Structure 1
Amino acid sequence: MHTLVLIRHAKSDWSVPVSDVQRPLTARGRRQAPAVGRWLCQHEVRLDLAVVSPATRASHTWDLIDTAIAEAGGPGAGEVVYDEDAYTFSPRALAGVIAGLPESARTVALVGHNPALEDLVGEFSGDRMRVPTASLAVLSLPRGDSSSGRLLAAGRPADGPLPLPR
């Protein structure tokens, strides 16, 4: 089994006149993102690898998460990769990124974008759910068969305890 932590970037600022890939986080996004890192620490999720979209909002979200993990005394990700292919809104393209992950990476965080993340949660677990900004979905995936995964936790840590799937 492998654990996949899908993380949607925190709230981005649409009022800034920049390209989509350069959009920064809002103040709310900068406040909410660290809660993801604290949640990962509190639940002892040890990441072997973090795959991050190079979009400014995604990379800044990861930086805030990683800083929160360090401040809580937890280990950071064993390796961080900024992957151009993770800057996608297509679940099929994102599934390709996941399929290409090294077998040695047992617990992986992927910081990306919707609608790809919402669609992947549904495809991997059968659970249809919203993935709002600064939220996560933790899935357990059998080796070689991501279509029969199980949703372990999901929600926005900044909003309080995460509801468990039915």
Structure 2
Amino acid sequence: MKRLILVRHGKSSWKYDVADDKRPLKKRGFADGELISEAFKRFQDHPILIWTSPAVRAYETAKIFKDKLEVEDQDFVIKSQLYTFNQSSLLTQIGTCEPSVNELMIFGHNPAMTQVVNSIGDKTFSNIPTTGLTIIDFETRDWNDLKNGKTILNLFPKNLR
């Protein structure tokens, strides 16, 4: 069995004149990261592998979860290929995960996150919101074989505020 946890980065700031991948979180992004990571911690009581896009807004969101979940440095990986907005590219990257890993948490970007959740899980959403977290379980041993997943949890900030 494989468990995929997808998290869209937190709300970013457009206040600064910087490249897209350099946009930081705004205060709400940090607050929502704390809110969702605290709620998720109740469901996660064992080590987890985190992969994050290198974009500042995704990395900052992932770092909040890393700290809250007490993830070891070796289990926190920045992957340049996760700076994608494309569903196929995101699924390709997920497929590169080692078969020995049973739980993978990914921090990335829309529209890829919403499209992947809708294409491999059994619930659909018009839009995964910023800092939205979705857990999907699969009856498979291979990360390249993610289909017909069971969406078991959605944590969206607006539902917890």
- TM-score, structure 1 normalization: 0.87
CA contact under 8 A between 2:136 and 2:152: conserved in structure 1? yes
Aligned to 1:99: 95
For residues 71-123 of structure 1, give each alpha carbon's deviation from its aligned partner in whole angstroms, at most 9, with x where no partner exists: xxxxx256111001100000000000111101111111000000000000111
Aligned to 2:35: 35
Q: Which runs of 4+ in 1 moved over 6 A?
A: none
For residues 20-72 of structure 1, give each alpha carbon's deviation from its aligned partner in whole angstroms, at most 9, with x where no partner exists: 000000011011101222122111253431110000000000111222224xx
Aligned-partner Cα distance in 1 for 2:45–2:81:
24
Q: Aligned letter for 2:87?
A: P
Change (3 A) 1:48 1:64: closer
Aligned to 1:90: 86
For structure 2, the 5+ residue unaligned runs are none
Give the alignment's Cα RMSD to 1 decimal. Answer: 1.7
CA contact under 8 A between 1:46 and 1:107: conserved in structure 2? no
SS of alignment partner, residue 146 of structure 1: coil
CA contact under 8 A between 2:121 and 2:148: conserved in structure 1? yes
Aligned to 1:15: 15
Paired residues in the alignment total 156
Aligned-partner Cα distance in 1 for 2:139–2:122:
14
Q: Aligned letter for 2:55?
A: A
Task: Among all aligned residue pairs of Structure 1 and Structure 2, give the percentage whose two residues are the same amino acid.
Answer: 26
Aligned to 1:121: 117
Aligned-partner Cα distance in 2 for 1:154–1:131:
9
SS of alignment partner, residue 137 of structure 2: strand
- TM-score, structure 2 normalization: 0.89
SS of alignment partner, residue 148 of structure 1: coil
Change (3 A) 1:131 1:47: farther
